[in-house]
Amino acid sequence: MSVLKASQTKGIERMTLVRYIKASAKEGETDSVGYAKCAAVKQIFSPAQEEQLAEHIKLLDSKFYGLSKEKSQKLAYDFASQNNLTVPKSWTRDQKAGVDWFRAFVRRNALSIRTPEATSLARQAGFNRPAVEGYFEKLGSALDRFKFTPQRIYNLDETGVTTVQKPRRVVSSKGKRQVGATSSQERGELSTLCCCVNAGGNHIPPFFIFPRVHMKDSFLNGVPPGTKGVAVKTGYMNGEIFAEQYLPFFISHTHCTVDDPILLILDNHSSHISLKVVEICKNAGIVLLTLPPHTSHKLQPLDRSVYGPLKAYYYRALDDWMRTNAGAFVSIHHVGQLAARAFVLSMTPANIQAGFRASGIYPFNRNIFTDDEFQPAEVTDQPMEDPNSAGVEPPSTPINLAPGTPSTSTSAVISIPHAQTSGVEKVTTLTKPIISVTPEQILPLLKARARKPSNRRKVKCAILTDTPEKNELENAQKQKEKKTRKKKSSVR
């Protein structure tokens, strides 16, 4: 304690333990116990093993099958026990790693506990490299053929607007058991809002579909100039409304012709790909390009940067209306003016252009998506070498080896670093047999089995206004009409 006493007699502020250890090392007290030496003795995994564990957890997360905190602790315990490593008694008692170790493990390996966004299996499997590459091939060929400028590249999509808002976070008393917020109704009415934007950052007026049999002028109170609305009992877009109502509305605002065509990118919903729609587009100079199934969350500009802000502004407008009109109910008579406020705030050139840039449409970038973004689809990838194969091999079962069980692995060298003394690191080298079980063997990566073959017609990315695709639609419609006539004749 000579250093501590000297500091006290000289009136220097009280030294912390870290300063005391450093000062002791300078004075040659090499036998003192330092933090590095304690950590080396008590560490459970070697740096290589810990990195292997962290990488496996990150890989599971990249495939959308991430582990919870408890599952990660359980995996760490199994990894340690099956590799014959010494673990604290609390690990053995609880059959999982300790809270303190896990907190430090997360900090050391740049991990965090986050709430994932729910992603459907169809979207997970649909966004795969072959589908995306095929889409960019179609898009690139259309851009090369017609030399579209940014103002002639459009994206169209529908979204729902309801009469019930999603509550925002509010300030409340700390420790309060339940926090409430006033809502218009238990279950609201859903209307459809159809938006269309171009790569230049502009948009055309919105198009509303209200869930009513008859259209009323009051539905469009306070909407932006040029807005159009129709009434459909379901409140959803259908093939008839799209072909007879929306397309003429769209053509009148874009001024497209056969001599001055435009590119229209949209999803492959059944209302968008009928033969009647294709004929109207072909005669009006609209090159119709559909997205691959279940990829709009990545490939559609409106979904990437516009509809998120639009929904946030719409719910905020609904909330403000409820506060201003206490005790009143929001009906579809108010939807138009509330959506108009959100439309103006979200349809900015910066937002629109960011969506086209993020989806690789303009500027054209077929390599916009990284390998990590395709990893979730690898779970459902199927082998291509045997098309008649009934399925794929099931994933390997976890290896449950009891501590001390011998393995065929060779001896390994374990290096344990100790406290540094006089600038030289002391390393104790031990050679002993270990069980080399990897985290992937304990918790294998998931792999889906092959699905049974289906006679259902597969929807794919296509330029529908090209002659081969148009002929295919004509043949499909003739077959459908033939089946309908045959069914009616059998009933008679």
What would the pLDDT profile of 84-141 be if each residue is shown by its tens digit? 999 999 999 999 999 999 999 999 999 999 988 888 888 888 899 999 999 999 999 9
Do the beta carbons of residue 163 and residue 185 sit within 8 Å? Answer: yes
Residue 441 has pLDDT above 80, yes or no: yes
Residue 417 has pLDDT above 50, yes or no: no
pLDDT at res. 480: 82
| Fold of the domain built from segment(s) 134-167+185-368 | Nucleotidyltransferase; domain 5 (3.30.420)
| Confidence label for 159 from pLDDT (cuts 50, 70 and 90) | very high
pLDDT at res. 67: 94
pLDDT at res. 18: 57
Do the beta carbons of residue 182 and residue 322 sit within 8 Å? Answer: yes
pLDDT at res. 172: 83
Residue 82 has pLDDT above 80, yes or no: yes
Whole-angstrom distance, CA of residue 490 vs CA of residue 492:
5
Whole-angstrom distance, CA of residue 218 vs CA of residue 103:
58
pLDDT at res. 16: 62
pLDDT at res. 428: 36
* Per-residue b or e along 181-214, where b marks 16 or more CB atoms closer than 10 Å to that residue's CB: eebbeeebbbbbbbbbbbbbbebbbbbbbbbbee
pLDDT at res. 407: 40
pLDDT at res. 459: 75
Provide the 8-state DSSP code for 463: B
What would the pLDDT profile of 466-489 be if each residue is shown by its tens digit? 988 888 888 888 888 888 887 777
Residue 328 has pLDDT above 50, yes or no: yes
pLDDT above 70 covers a percentage of the chain that reads 77
| Confidence label for 349 from pLDDT (cuts 50, 70 and 90) | very high
Residue 182 has pLDDT above 60, yes or no: yes
pLDDT at res. 124: 84
Residue 7 has pLDDT above 50, yes or no: no
**pTM > 0.95: yes or no:** no
Residue with more model confidence, 162 or 426: 162
Mean pLDDT for all residues in the chain:
82
Among residues 421, 418, 424, the alpha carbon closest in space to that of 28 is found at 421
| Confidence label for 199 from pLDDT (cuts 50, 70 and 90) | very high
Residue 173 has pLDDT above 80, yes or no: yes
pLDDT at res. 24: 57
Any idea where the domains of the chain sit in the sequence? 33-114+399-442, 134-167+185-368
Helix (H, G, I), strand (E, B) or coil at 386: coil
Provide the 8-state DSSP code for 119: -
Lowest-pLDDT range of 127-141, 223-237, 415-429: 415-429
Whole-angstrom distance, CA of residue 249 vs CA of residue 363:
28
Average pLDDT over residues 415-427: 38
Provide the 8-state DSSP code for 165: P
Lowest-pLDDT range of 228-242, 344-358, 400-414: 400-414
